[in-house]
Amino acid sequence: MIEILNPTELARAKDAGALVADILQTLKSRSAVGTNLLDIDRWAQDMIVEAGAESCYVDYEPSFGRGPFGHYICTAVNDAVLHGLPFDYTLADGDLLSLDLAVSKGGVAADSAISFVVGGSKPPESIAMISATERALSAGIAAAGPGARVGDISHAIGSVLSEAGYSINTEFGGHGIGSTMHQDPHVSNTGRPGRGYKLRPGLLLALEPWVMADTDELVTDADGWTLRSATGCRTAHSEHTIAITDDGAEILTLPR
Ligand code: MG
Ligand code: MG
């Protein structure tokens, strides 16, 4: 299903997007050496509830997970990259942490992810990988607008990731979003320009480039959710929800 939002729904989407961004920035500022992933999950829960929003994750039970998820945020450390189930783990200096959060407010969902290094050390490989996903996300957003096609976004994202030296996994990518978190169209992180669904004003997309340092193969953790790199290498993930406007695209998940 592809949804085109009306102006009332778009206003709600902006509200949801700003909330997601604010929560992620707060959680980033609190994620220090010694912070437990379960603390981050509890803080996310508190902020979602306080804002009168609903978690898109806690009851989520898709075919690819061992549902329901039962937590409020995805926390992926080092070789973990997607669907990271929070567990009793204390962050250490140099850990590469990805936080992925989706909430629904007023019946509209927003979805965003950030990656960063915990503590004072800045491993160059981790910084480069995070930067590549952020640049790919910017390129994808720049390629989005009315009349552009999903393949234009995929091509823009994939070009940045490939030029940075990463191979691209095509199992998981971006997606439409609206009254529910995951909708059509699928937005692969690589593709051919001029192909696929033609974008229209009012369409919401979650774009989410992610990479693994030396592989494109995933393995599922024993927890039934967390996806890790098959080689144990580090990974990074950046995501924004955007709205297609009359003359381009607007990022909804920027901090206020
Ligand atoms: Mg997400
Ligand atoms: Mg997403």
Residue 1 counted as domain residue: no
- Render pLDDT for 68-95 as a digit per residue (tens, 0 to 9): 999 999 999 999 999 999 999 999 999 9
For the domain that residue 59 is a member of, what is the CATH number? 3.90.230.10
Residue 256 counted as domain residue: no
Query: What is the DSSP code string of 189-236?
Result: SS--TT-SPBP-TT-EEEE--EEESS-S-EEE-TTSS-EEETT---EE
Q: Which ligand lies nearest to the CA atom of residue 238 in the structure?
A: 1
Backbone angles phi, psi at 33, to 5 degrees: -55, 125
Range of the domain at 104: 7-251
* Span from the CA of 52 to the centroid of ligand 1 (angstroms): 20
* Span from the CA of 139 to the centroid of ligand 2 (angstroms): 17
pLDDT band with cut points at 50, 70 and 90 for residue 65: confident
- Render pLDDT for 116-166 as a digit per residue (tens, 0 to 9): 999 999 999 999 999 999 999 999 999 999 999 999 999 999 999 999 999
Residue 177 counted as domain residue: yes
Residue 91 counted as domain residue: yes
Q: Which ligand lies nearest to the CA atom of residue 100 in the structure?
A: 1
Q: Which ligand lies nearest to the CA atom of residue 175 in the structure?
A: 2
* Span from the CA of 111 to the centroid of ligand 1 (angstroms): 5
How many structural domains compose the chain? 1
* Span from the CA of 84 to the centroid of ligand 1 (angstroms): 11
* Span from the CA of 59 to the centroid of ligand 2 (angstroms): 16
Q: Which ligand lies nearest to the CA atom of residue 183 in the structure?
A: 2
Residue 153 counted as domain residue: yes
Residue 195 counted as domain residue: yes
